[in-house]
Chain A
Amino acid sequence: MRAEQLKGHLDALLLAVLEAEALHGYAIIERLRARSGGTFDLPGGSVYPALRRLEMASLVDGVWSEVAGRRRRTYRLNDRGRAALAEERATWRGFSHAVGSVLGQPAS
């Protein structure tokens, strides 16, 4: 699935991936791919600006460390991020239920 098709959902997906543990960018992309069964195979370049946007919105915290001589930024979901994720989940459930009601059954 291409990044354009995920626009509007990418932020929520990133928050969901970070819910269980703190991860760096590459691991976030890999986790997203694995959890979607390979459907969300995003170009990495679309994820990093989104992570910065979430950080600027104070939903995740980024921390630098050094690994194998390289600087690495690891992201962790904070309390505001957890609240935002809960809200996104509720909105998504309502939306998918409504769409499913319309698309799920062929007109008789």
Chain B
Amino acid sequence: MSFYETYQTFRQILEQAGKASHGPDQIQRILQQSTLKPWDLYALLSPAAAPFLEQMAQKAHRLTVQHFGRTILLYTPLYLSNYCTNFCRYCGFNAENPIPRKQLSPAEVEKEAQAIAETGLKHILILTGDARQLAGLDYLKSCIAVLRRYFTSIGIEIYALETGEYRELIAAGVDSLTIYQETYDESLYQELHPQGPKKDYCFRLDAPERACRSGIRSVNIAALLGLGDWRTDAFFTGLHADYLQRTFPEVEVGLSLPRMRAHAGAYQPLYPVKDAVLVQIMLALRLYLPRAGIALSTREQAGLRDNLIRLGVTKMSAGSTTRVGGRTQAHDDVGQFEIADERSVAEMQARIQGLGYQPVFKDWQPI
């Protein structure tokens, strides 16, 4: 059993039916429902739902406050290594990009950890490129051993692993997995990932399931918005999250809504996502999955991030850098992509409080 079967079923229907047209009556009816079916999500992502953003926002706000309260969990990414054997056309770490490559030693990880811990953060997300020979499991475990002394929750956003490998990292102290399918469009995926381990669409698609079977506490999935047709990618992100919730009810399933940002390569998104579209996607997914956490990174600008807090966001990164060693070392390299919200953790904390929400620093601890 895999989400791939669900994906194929719905993709076939979409290909055969073409673009279904929806009317305002249908959108209004969906907004009255307490639970939504997959095609209701598709309708909320359609042009017909665009005039209903305010009504969707009101309902999304109510649902989010009801299920998550007025709280925003804060976390920050820590880039351990930018070595990569993949050729993802949209990514700054692409093996072909002539950028300085770097990998933190455990001692350097400790310095970064100290700098981050001073801001009060307790949740950390560690990231690497895809270079197993350099940033393999043993390296990751040595970094995790350092980070456990500073943080109560450790997430990974790294290359897709096998089930047993996830189990090893969970035993080492990892409690959450973030992994993006980038695009659910299988043929576009092949174009965008011409070489490297990431080329295998299904191995990546099934990674969250393998982590769930390994006992992970939470998984966070997404499509990188802008790569493919955003309606289809947002639709399948919702279906994927729903599938994970149903198949692994003990796992907290969350979503991210990353939009493509400027990066070291020349690749430009085929389907740029405007702010209003980003909002429509967030609201549609919140109404479809009222209990799913929604993470918003510093890819987005400060003003927009502030406005999105009330629309369904439950987690935000702060004090971010996408450079390896970006907090403690001289800046002789470039990051994976450009950060748009450069506020410090303290500034984010104050702003979230100012908006009537509680910034939450700790929402898990090893047990």
Q: Do A and B come from one complex?
A: no
* B interface residue numbers (CB < 8 A to A): none
